[in-house]
Amino acid sequence: MRTTGAEGTGVVRNTDYTARWYHGSPRVLDVLLTGSTITQWRDLARVFSHKPPVVSITDDRQIQHNGARPGYLYEIAEPVLPDDVEPHPRTTMGPGDEWLTRRELRLRLIGGTAVRPAEHLTDDDLDALRRAHAADG
């Protein structure tokens, strides 16, 4: 089901709620608790499984981060309806990238995750991001 709800209603335009939803965690889980973060962007969920303090997404949607923990990637194992989720109110990501759950959801383990060296932020990368952020105000 694709929706075209109005801004500010908790509905993000053009969200296909029937598409797959994912969660990444460093823990083994069966059920995701209310208030947890989910996304339809599989790679973003995989990155979240590493619990990174910093995530950087370029304009062409390349993800870099400084997480270091192995983790697990999950798919939500039941239908997600518009009333089951809300856009994360304090996200720094694009519209529709990060959602909070409004109820418990069953999970299906996809598999374990390992940090990919090519997407890991170095200390120099982090310093450059901080300088750029400070320059932007």
Domain boundaries, the chain: 2-136
Q: What are phi and psi of 120, to 5 degrees?
A: -85, 130
Residue 11, pLDDT score: 56
Q: What are phi and psi of 118, to 5 degrees?
A: -65, -20
Q: What is the pLDDT of residues 32-83, one digit of tens each?
A: 999 999 999 999 999 999 999 999 998 899 999 999 999 999 999 999 999 9
Task: Provide the pairing of β-strand 105-113 with 71-76.
Answer: antiparallel
What's the whole-number mean pLDDT along residues 103-114?
98
- The topology under which CATH files domain 2-136 is ADP-ribosylation fold (3.20.170)
Residue 12, pLDDT score: 65
- What is the 3-state composition of the chain as percent helix, strand, coil, each rounded to the nearest 5? 20, 30, 50
Within 8 A by CB and 6+ apart from 21, the residues are 38, 39, 40, 75, 76, 80, 85, 99
pTM of the predicted structure, to 2 decimals: 0.86
Tell me which of 116 and 1 has the higher pLDDT. Answer: 116
Does the pLDDT value for residue 8 go beyond 60?
Answer: no
Tell me which of 11 and 69 has the higher pLDDT. Answer: 69
Instruction: Tell me the C-alpha distance between 42 and 56, whole Å.
Output: 16
Alpha helix (H) ranges present in the chain?
A: 42-48, 123-136
Residue 2, pLDDT score: 28
How many CB atoms sit inside 10 A of residue 58's CB?
Answer: 8
Residue 24, pLDDT score: 98
